[in-house]
Amino acid sequence: MNLLERTARAATAVTTPLLPDDYLQYVNPLWSTREPRGRIEAVLPETPDSATIWIRPGLGWARQHVPGQYVRMGIDIDGVRHWRTYSITSVPRRDDGRFSICVKAIPDGFVSAHLVRETRAGTMVRLAPPAGDFTLPEPLPTKTLFVTAGSGITPVMGMLRAHVNLQDVVHVHLARNAWDVIFGAELRRRTHQVAGYVLHEHHDDREGRFDLGRLDELVPDWRDRESWACGPAGLLDGLAERFAAARVPERLHIERFRPVVAAGATGAGGTITFQASGKTADAGGATPILVAGEDAGALLPNGCRMGICHTCVGRLCSGAVIDLRTGELHDDEGELVQTCVSAPAGDVVIDL
């Protein structure tokens, strides 16, 4: 047992029934180890609707992440805590201990708009450990392709910044226009400063919608490259089909910011009652229970918000829900359902 552990045990004995953490968080919130926190230290604009946010994590946060991973962050807005997931864009193990995320304010994005336009230095947030497997392997691939669009650049930016020894990299990035390219100036500098990095920018305002057939023109050897892609669902679905048709689906690694919704997979909608909090919410048949609950002020467990991590789970007390990814109906009392990818199919009571 080291000195820190012995000190903590002794402090616990003195402060029981409270824990040292109960006192430390009042002295400095960043000292809390039971509820890892962070302090926002800067909000720096990247484009008119996006910003890099620098965060200093507290003692309880695992500071070492793998480039490409994301962090789940909770921020209080008007007395309600909202959890969202954002890719980490800074390199691991910085000397100052800080890390950065980049947030793009999306239409009807209440939390993202608040973070980009309203949040100020000094704001305290809750933090979960880094997670995600959208990362580069060891050893690094000899030939790499990145395909990104919009805020899909964020996990890849973390990789590019951390892995300066990446060789033979081709990067295709799509944006509405040149001014809408997040990290645009940095990416363009890389083409002159980093050997083996080639950037192809596509701007919709000049060239129209990107045709995936152009991959053969821009990256003739794309079938031979290990590829990472992040962006809108249509782009990712198209890439998956293209790699599958070329019989190299294993070469494509995809990061999705939103779950894949099956065509026609909607419920009837209804009133959702959250049993633990007593809150209710009316939701349409395509609205995830998690989103409806958060909008109603319910504090609900959540993680990746895509149905992968199984953190957003609640027990169904009555009613039925539909899985938006598959269209499958779930109506067994006591069944555990994933609130981030399930919508009400009539009135629902859930034990949350």
Asked if residue 347 and residue 293 are part of one domain, the reply reads: yes
165 within some domain: yes
Please state the domain count of the chain. Answer: 3
Which pLDDT band, with edges at 50, 70 and 90, does 107 fall under? confident
- Pairwise CA distance, residues 163 & 216, whole Å: 26
Instruction: Round to the nearest angstrom and report the end-to-end CA distance of the chain.
Output: 39
- Domain harbouring 54, CATH code: 2.40.30.10
Expressed as residue numbers, the domain containing 247 is 144-255
What pTM value is reported for the model? 0.79
Asked if residue 42 and residue 101 are part of one domain, the reply reads: yes
- Pairwise CA distance, residues 170 & 160, whole Å: 11
- The arithmetic mean of pLDDT across residues 223-240, rounded, is 96
- Pairwise CA distance, residues 221 & 218, whole Å: 9
Each residue's pLDDT tens digit, 174-214: 999 999 999 999 999 999 999 999 999 999 999 999 999 99
**Pair 116, 103: CB distance under 8 Å:** yes
Asked if residue 334 and residue 248 are part of one domain, the reply reads: no
265 within some domain: no
Q: Which percentage of the chain shows pLDDT scores above 90?
A: 63
Which pLDDT band, with edges at 50, 70 and 90, does 108 fall under? confident
- Other C-beta atoms closer than 10 Å to the C-beta of 200 total 16
Asked if residue 116 and residue 176 are part of one domain, the reply reads: no
Q: Which percentage of the chain shows pLDDT scores above 70?
A: 89
Is residue 16 over pLDDT 90? Answer: no
- Domain harbouring 152, CATH code: 3.40.50.80
Which tokens in the block code for residue 113? 């708009």
Is residue 23 over pLDDT 80? Answer: no
Is residue 127 over pLDDT 90? Answer: yes
Length of the chain measured in residues: 352
Provide the phi-psi class of 231: left if phi over 0, else alpha when psi is between -120 and 50, else beta. left
Q: Please tell me the predicted confidence (pLDDT) of residue 347.
A: 93
- Domain harbouring 324, CATH code: 3.10.20.30
CA dihedral 166, 168, 169, 172 (to 10 degrees): 180
